[in-house]
C-alpha cells in the first residue's frame, strides 16, 4: 500500500514524533510511505533514510498556489492509496485540495482537545465533508471535537498514540551512568519533566510546586528537558525563587529514554494536553508518574490516584512529595504496572494495526 503522511511541520513535538514513528513502522511492514510537510526545518525525522521527506514551502498564504501545485505533483507521481493529514493546517490544506489533487482517501488526525478558537472550529466544520475519516488521540478529545461540531460523529474515532516499548524501557546502567554525569548520587531524589517550554506545558506551575516541595525535600533535584519561547522567563523564575542549584534546564535531548531511567518520578504539569505522549513514555520506562488531569492523560495513566487538577501548584507539590516518599519496592511495583499497561494498550504495534485497518478501508471502497 502507498501512504502519504502530511503534517504541518517536523519540529520537536509529540505529533511530529508520532508521525515519523508511524512512517518507520509502515516502512518496516513493507508499505511505501512518504512524508510531506508544509513548512519549517526538519528537527525530527524517521530512522529509515529511505523515507522521503518533502517540504511544500507553505510559509504564508502568498505561497499557497505554489504549494498546491507541488502537492498535486507529488500526488500524480506517487499516487498514494491514502493521504493521512496531521494537525490543523495540514488537515485544512488536504481538505481544500481534496478534489483538485485527486486524493483518493483522506484521513484527518487532530492531536489534542484544543481546537484553536472559533475561526478554526468554523473551518473544521465547513470542510468536514471533504475527509473520509477523522481521528483524535484520545476518546476525550474526539468526543470534544464532536460536541463542538468540529468533527462529525459518523466518521470520527479515537486512535491513541503508540509507544516504542523497546526503546522506552528502564536501564539500570543508563541510570547509573547519567546520574554520574549529572553529579547525582544514588540517594538524591530526581524529578523530571519533558516538553517544549511553552504556555500549554505550564512550567511556572511546576517550578512553584517544586519550590513548595523543597520545604520537605530539600535535596530533591528537577530536570527539565526541552526548549522553547518561555525559557528565559522560566530561568528568571528559578533564580528569583533561589532554586538555581536544584533545577536544571537540559535543553533539547535525544536520549530521553535513558534520562527517564535516571529519574525517580516523572511529572507533567500541563494546563492542557492532547494524548500525553511523554506520560506513556515514562510509564514504559517504569517510572512513577504524577500528572495534571488534562487531555488524554487520565486514559493513559489509568489510575486517578496520581492525578491533580491543572494549575494548582499546592496540590501538585503534595502529590510529588507523596511519590518521593514511596519505598523503593513500591516505586518498582508501580513502575512495573505502568509498563504492563503501556505494552497492553499503547504499544506501537497496536497503534499500527489500528491505522492499517483504517487504511485498508480505502482499498475496500475502491474495490466496491
Q: CA 75 to CA 4: how far, in whole Å?
A: 9
Q: With beta carbons less than 8 A apart as the criterion, state whether 206 and 269 touch.
A: yes
Out of 2.40.30.10, 3.40.50.720, 3.40.50.2000, 3.40.50.10490, select the CATH number for domain 172-345.
3.40.50.2000
The tens-digit pLDDT sequence of the chain (368 residues) is: 999 999 999 998 889 989 999 999 999 999 999 999 999 999 999 999 999 999 999 988 899 999 999 999 999 999 999 999 999 999 999 999 999 999 999 999 999 888 989 999 999 999 999 999 999 998 989 999 999 999 999 999 999 998 989 999 999 999 999 999 999 999 999 999 999 999 999 999 999 999 999 999 999 999 999 999 999 999 999 999 999 999 999 999 989 999 999 999 999 999 988 788 899 999 999 999 999 999 889 999 987 899 999 999 999 999 999 999 999 999 999 999 999 999 999 999 889 999 999 999 877 765 55
Sorted by where each begins, the domain ranges of the chain are 2-162+347-367, 172-345
- What is the C-alpha to C-alpha distance for residues 23 and 18, in angstroms, rounded to an integer? 9
Give the CATH H-level superfamily of domain 2-162+347-367.
Answer: Glycogen Phosphorylase B; (3.40.50.2000)
Residue matched to cell numbers 461540531: 149
**DSSP single-letter state for residue 62:** G
Cell of 66: 505554489
Calpha distance 39→54 (Å, rounded): 10
pTM: 0.83
3-class SS of residue 162: coil
Query: CA 167 to CA 358: how far, in whole Å?
Result: 26
Q: What is the DSSP-derived secondary structure letter of residue 222?
A: E
Phi, psi for residue 266 in degrees, rounded to 5: -95, 140
Neighbours of 164 (CB within 10 A): 18
Same fold, 2-162+347-367 and 172-345: yes
Contacts of 339 (CB under 8 A, 6+ apart): 165, 169, 170, 283, 284, 285, 286
DSSP assignment letter at 163: B
Amino acid at each position: 500500500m502507498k501512504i502519504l503522511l502530511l503534517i504541518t511541520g517536523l519540529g520537536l513535538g509529540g505529533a511530529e514524533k508520532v508521525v515519523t514513528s508511524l512512517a518507520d513502522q509502515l516502512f518496516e511492514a513493507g508499505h511505501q510511505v512518504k512524508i510531506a510537510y508544509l513548512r519549517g526545518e526538519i528537527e525530527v525525522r524517521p530512522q529509515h533514510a529511505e523515507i522521503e521527506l518533502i517540504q511544500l514551502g507553505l510559509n504564508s498564504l502568498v505561497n499557497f498556489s505554489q504549494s498546491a501545485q507541488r502537492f498535486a505533483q507529488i500526488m500524480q507521481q506517487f499516487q498514494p492509496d491514502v493521504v493521512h493529514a496531521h494537525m490543523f493546517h495540514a488537515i485544512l490544506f488536504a481538505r481544500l485540495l481534496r478534489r483538485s489533487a485527486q486524493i483518493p482517501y483522506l484521513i484527518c488526525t487532530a492531536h489534542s482537545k484544543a481546537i484553536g478558537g472559533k475561526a478554526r472550529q468554523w473551518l473544521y466544520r465547513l470542510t468536514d465533508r471533504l475527509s473520509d475519516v477523522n481521528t483524535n488521540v484520545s476518546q476525550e478529545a474526539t468526543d470534544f471535537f464532536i460536541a463542538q461540531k468540529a468533527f462529525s460523529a459518523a466518521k470520527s474515532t479515537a486512535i491513541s498514540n503508540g509507544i516504542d516499548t523497546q526503546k522506552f524501557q528502564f536501564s539500570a546502567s543508563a541510570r547509573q551512568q547519567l546520574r554520574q554525569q549529572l553529579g547525582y548520587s544514588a540517594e538524591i531524589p530526581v524529578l523530571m519533566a519533558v516538553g517544549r517550554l511553552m504556555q500549554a506545558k505550564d512550567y511556572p506551575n511546576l517550578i512553584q510546586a517544586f519550590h513548595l516541595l523543597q520545604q520537605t525535600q530539600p535535596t530533591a533535584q528537577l530536570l527539565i528537558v526541552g526548549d522553547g519561547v518561555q525559557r528565559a522567563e522560566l530561568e528568571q523564575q528559578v533564580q528569583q525563587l533561589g532554586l538555581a542549584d536544584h533545577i536544571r534546564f537540559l535543553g533539547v535531548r535525544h536520549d530521553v529514554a535513558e534520562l527517564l531511567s535516571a529519574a525517580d518520578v516523572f511529572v507533567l504539569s500541563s494546563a492542557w494536553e492532547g494524548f500525553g505522549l511523554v506520560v506513556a513514555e515514562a510509564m514504559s520506562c517504569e517510572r512513577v508518574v504524577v500528572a495534571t488531569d488534562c487531555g488524554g492523560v487520565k486514559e493513559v495513566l489509568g489510575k486517578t490516584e496520581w492525578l491533580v487538577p491543572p494549575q494548582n501548584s499546592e496540590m501538585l507539590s503534595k502529590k510529588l512529595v507523596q511519590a518521593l516518599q514511596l519505598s523503593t519496592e513500591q516505586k518498582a511495583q508501580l513502575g512495573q504496572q505502568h509498563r504492563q499497561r503501556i505494552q497492553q494498550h499503547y504499544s506501537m504495534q497496536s497503534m499500527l494495526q489500528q491505522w492499517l485497518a483504517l487504511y485498508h478501508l480505502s482499498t475496500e471502497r475502491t474495490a466496491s
